[in-house]
Structure 1
Amino acid sequence: MSLVEPKEKIFRSGFVALIGRPNVGKSTLVNELVGQKVSITSPVAQTTRNRLRAILTTQNAQLVFVDTPGIHKPHHLLGQRLVQSARRSIGEVDTILLIFEGCHPPGKGDYFVVNLLREEERPVLIVLNKWDLLPLEKSKQRENEYKDLFRELDWPIFCCSATHGTGLEGLIEEISRNLPIGPRLFPPEMVSDQSEQTIFRELIREQVLLHTREEIPHSVAVRIDRLEEILPKPGKKSQNVHTAILATILVERKSQKGILIGKGGSMLKQIGQAARLQMQVFINGSVYLELFVKVVPNWRSNPASLAELGYEGN
């Protein structure tokens, strides 16, 4: 009796862009898909500014998610560059996830985003996120409302909740099926290709958004001025390595600086403590963080300031 060699297992890999309007939950979805926080989140729209890549490796595939800024009508140079960044991603990936807030009916902005993708030859998968916020009796009606957006297009729909992690298994399977056959693009244990400096900068900005909400929504940026690992001194009992970070929070107006610092420095202290805890979880080590606040008028419309902060144009 002859033994038949088993067929080689097919492995797929590729890039997947998350496209949608601001605040539809793209970053929360990315974090849930990879099982770890790699993208900052907040209730404030346009939280994501950089095209962040998060990596999920399964037995059959490696999915590289590209979390993009929300597509919106820009009101300054920074906004223009964020939208350019999101639109560039559409042409640089293998599969597209088009994310909507499923708990709300489609609006004009949703029609605009659909029209951007209407002629795409790449696979497009629809994700109706925040499905847990929709009453069960309205689910069929809401799904049909979104189907009307792309009635003539063969785009499958997945109803999900990034917050609760429901509906994601089927989505991952469908994404994997749509990726090209190929080897791993990153080591299997890797979940993000972002530098520590970039992640630290974003963790600080996240806490600014969470603590100040609408008072300083989009006028803030963070610059890491110093990042250093401090080795323990010879003879010290503690052998732990400390990461020392010196960062500057940039705002556009003097009044915003006052809000960020707070009475007696209380607000800046809260922001720093919360960001430091997040950083320590990320690196699984000790962090010393020192924050400063600087006013840079109209930095969002200044090409030199944007370039210094890494928001490059085309």
Structure 2
Amino acid sequence: MTSSADVHRSGFACFVGRPNAGKSTLTNALVGSKVAITSSKPQTTRHAIRGIVHRPDAQLIIVDTPGLHRPRTLLGRRLNDLVYETWSEVDVVGFCVPADQKIGPGDRYIAEQLAKVARRTPVVGIVTKADLVGKERVAEQLLDLQQVLEFADLVPVSAVDSFQTDELSDVLVRQLPEGPQLYPDGELTDEPESTLIAELIREAALEGVRDELPHSLAVSIEEMIPREDRDDLIDVHAVIYVERQSQKAIVIGRGGERLRDVGSRSRQHIQKLLGSKIYLDLHVKVAKDWQQDPRQLRRLGF
């Protein structure tokens, strides 16, 4: 007879919540590496990036979904479809609500949608950003969250100072089926490198820009090739797409200053990811109203 210590579990979890509820930061904290982009701008995650948590007793694969919202564009509808599709395929769902914001209509809307899957899939309530408030406020938020949905478990966490992240990992793992490793040791994500690189450039481009930009910005990696005469250098050619000429000016900045800053910031992360020096060739192009155009959405990978 196998003791419970010998049981190995493996499966998929995903975090849901309003845009900017701390889902990507939490994914990175659990995986222990920067795999999901984090930005102070809402609605920045577009790809269901899987982060892989390796433990002796389990392998937890985290799918990071876009924030669910009431859609206004074709892109918005596609992002929501991606969320619903993901919910139906995972073993456990983590519903993230930040500790420093009252539970609002956006959270209740998500809870209503989640109630439909909660019969089949366990949902864990997660109060994020616990470092921003006192213990009483965290306790209050847990009680309020309890009224919203029937949860399999409730956990307060802070990804910033690692408060209860191990506890959350245990709670999620308990909901996984028994099974072997699904990915080799050492792998942190199954996303292609080009997708991760595009996301890192997009994150850098979103830093410090005006609020109208997040939805309008997409990055495409045109080419990634080792430099012919050097084995320690990779040439990365990337294009940042915006929807209007005025947005192009914002991304480039005065005298190209912002674009240079985007390049140097993202280059550091890309070099770390690839373990190699890179030359980053970055251009900004206008793709008019791409969020509403099915052909352009396909070309940009949506």
Cα distance in structure 1, aligned partners of 2:5 and 2:245? 63
Aligned to 2:102: 105
Shift of 1:40: 0.7
1:168 counterpart (147, 165, 168) = 165
Shift of 1:188: 1.6
SS in 1 for 2:215: coil
Q: Does 1:310 align with 2:301?
A: yes
Aligned to 2:68: 71
Is contact 2:124–2:151 with CA below 8 Å preserved after alignment?
Answer: no
Cα distance in structure 2, aligned partners of 1:295 and 1:247? 14
Q: Does 1:245 align with 2:236?
A: yes
Shift of 1:134: 1.6
Cα distance in structure 2, aligned partners of 1:188 and 1:277? 25
Q: 1:268 to 1:194 in 2, by over 3 A?
A: same
Cα distance in structure 2, aligned partners of 1:143 and 1:20? 15
Aligned to 1:236: none
Cα distance in structure 1, aligned partners of 2:251 and 2:137? 42
Q: Does 1:289 align with 2:289?
A: no
1:206 aligned partner, one-letter code: E
Shift of 1:8: 7.9
Q: Does 1:267 align with 2:258?
A: yes
Cα distance in structure 1, aligned partners of 2:156 and 2:23? 14
Shift of 1:49: 0.4
Q: Deviations over 1:167-225 (max 9, x none)?
A: 11111111111100110000021110011111111111000111424252221111111
Q: 1:101 to 1:188 in 2, by over 3 A?
A: same
Cα distance in structure 2, aligned partners of 1:300 and 1:147? 37
Aligned to 2:204: 207
Is contact 2:11–2:61 with CA below 8 Å preserved after alignment?
Answer: yes
Cα distance in structure 1, aligned partners of 2:205 and 2:69? 22
SS in 2 for 1:23: coil
Aligned to 1:42: 39
Q: Deviations over 1:19-38 (max 9, x none)?
A: 11111011000000000000
Aligned to 1:124: 123
Shift of 1:117: 1.7
Aligned to 2:146: 147
Q: 1:8 to 1:144 in 2, by over 3 A?
A: closer
Shift of 1:146: 1.3
1:276 aligned partner, one-letter code: R
Shift of 1:141: 2.1
Cα distance in structure 2, aligned partners of 1:6 and 1:182? 15
Shift of 1:259: 1.3
Cα distance in structure 2, aligned partners of 1:285 and 1:213? 32
Cα distance in structure 2, aligned partners of 1:135 and 1:287? 44
Is contact 2:122–2:151 with CA below 8 Å preserved after alignment?
Answer: no
1:109 aligned partner, one-letter code: G
Q: 1:205 to 1:8 in 2, by over 3 A?
A: closer
Q: 1:9 to 1:155 in 2, by over 3 A?
A: closer
Shift of 1:232: 3.8
Cα distance in structure 1, aligned partners of 2:147 and 2:5? 42
Q: 1:306 to 1:134 in 2, by over 3 A?
A: same
The correspondence of residues 186-197 of structure 1 with structure 2, limited to 5 A, is 186-197=183-194
Q: Structure 2: 5+ residue runs without aligned partners? A: none
Q: 1:231 to 1:175 in 2, by over 3 A?
A: same
Q: Structure 1: 5+ residue runs without aligned partners? A: 234-239
Shift of 1:142: 2.2
Q: Deviations over 1:66-118 (max 9, x none)?
A: 00000001111111111110111110011111111122121011111111121
Please say which structure displays the higher CA radius of gyration: 1
Aligned to 1:22: 19
Q: 1:7 to 1:86 in 2, by over 3 A?
A: closer
Q: 1:6 to 1:252 in 2, by over 3 A?
A: closer
TM-score by length of 2: 0.95
2:296 aligned partner, one-letter code: S
SS in 2 for 1:42: coil
Is contact 1:248–1:294 with CA below 8 Å preserved after alignment?
Answer: yes
Cα distance in structure 1, aligned partners of 2:178 and 2:21? 30
Instruction: Give aligned-pair identity as a percent.
Output: 37
